[in-house]
């Protein structure tokens, strides 16, 4: 009776891993993977190849293909471990210092309340002061432009702006 070749087997992957297990482990070890991870890498290789039944068909050197594939998995695992070590190497204080990408849930409610108070404070301003404030803050006009437009002095524009801002600030501070 002739010996059974790996290629004659119904389950090519099982036979190939079994026949070349020591070679695959040695190849992964030579590439610098930790001894404790080598068996896990070979297991991961088996799982990946089991999901692709035709992966071994047509390969000239099954041992070479399995070794190269296992080495690549080992390199990927080492890179991932290095990245995770870098990502998670900070302290808890550093993690807490990272600003949140989104605002707190109650932030929107707080902003709406402040805007309501600000609108009310602006409507309470005398007409000329309100006009100067709106021209400056909403229409982005410079004090000199406002003075020319309203035919008043630049000092008067500055005085109205100071008083308008102080009034709005007082109202906003009153809600806290």
- pLDDT per position as a tens digit, 141-167: 999 999 999 999 999 999 999 999 999
**pTM value surpassing 0.75:** no
Retrieve residue 109's tokens: 């409610």
**Block residue for tokens 């059974």:** 4
Write the secondary structure of 9-69 as one string of H (helix), E (strand) and C (coil). CCCHHHHHHHHHHHHHHHHHHHCCCCHHHHHHHHHHHHHHHHCCCCCCCCCCCHHHHHHHH
Longest dimension (CA), the chain: 114
Complete domains list, the chain, with CATH: 6-88 (1.10.1740.10), 115-174 (1.10.10.10)
70, 76, 82, 86: CA torsion to nearest 10: -160
CA distance 2 to 117: 94
Return the pLDDT at 21.
Answer: 92
Q: What is the pLDDT of residue 9?
A: 38
Percent of the chain having pLDDT more than 70?
89
Q: What is the pLDDT of residues 71-126, one digit of tens each?
A: 999 999 989 888 888 777 777 777 777 777 776 766 666 888 889 999 999 999 99
Residues 6+ apart with CB under 8 A from 28: 38, 41, 42, 67, 70, 71, 74
């Amino acid at each position: 009776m002739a010996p059974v070749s790996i290629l004659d087997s119904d389950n090519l992957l099982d036979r190939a891993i079994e026949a070349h297990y020591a070679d695959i482990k040695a190849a992964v070890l030579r590439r610098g993977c930790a001894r404790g991870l080598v068996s896990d890498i070979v297991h991961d290789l088996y799982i990946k190849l089991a999901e692709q039944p035709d992966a071994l068909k047509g390969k000239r050197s099954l041992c070479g293909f399995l070794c190269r594939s296992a080495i690549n998995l080992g390199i990927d695992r080492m890179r991932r471990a290095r990245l995770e070590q870098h990502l998670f190497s900070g302290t808890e204080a550093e993690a807490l210092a990272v600003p949140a990408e989104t605002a707190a849930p109650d932030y929107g409610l707080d902003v709406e309340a402040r805007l309501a108070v600000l609108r009310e404070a602006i409507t309470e301003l005398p007409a000329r002061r309100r006009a100067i404030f709106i021209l400056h803050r909403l229409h982005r006009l410079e004090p000199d432009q406002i003075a020319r437009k309203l035919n008043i002095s630049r000092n008067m524009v500055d005085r109205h702006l100071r008083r308008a801002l102080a009034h709005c600030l007082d109202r906003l501070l009153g809600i806290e």
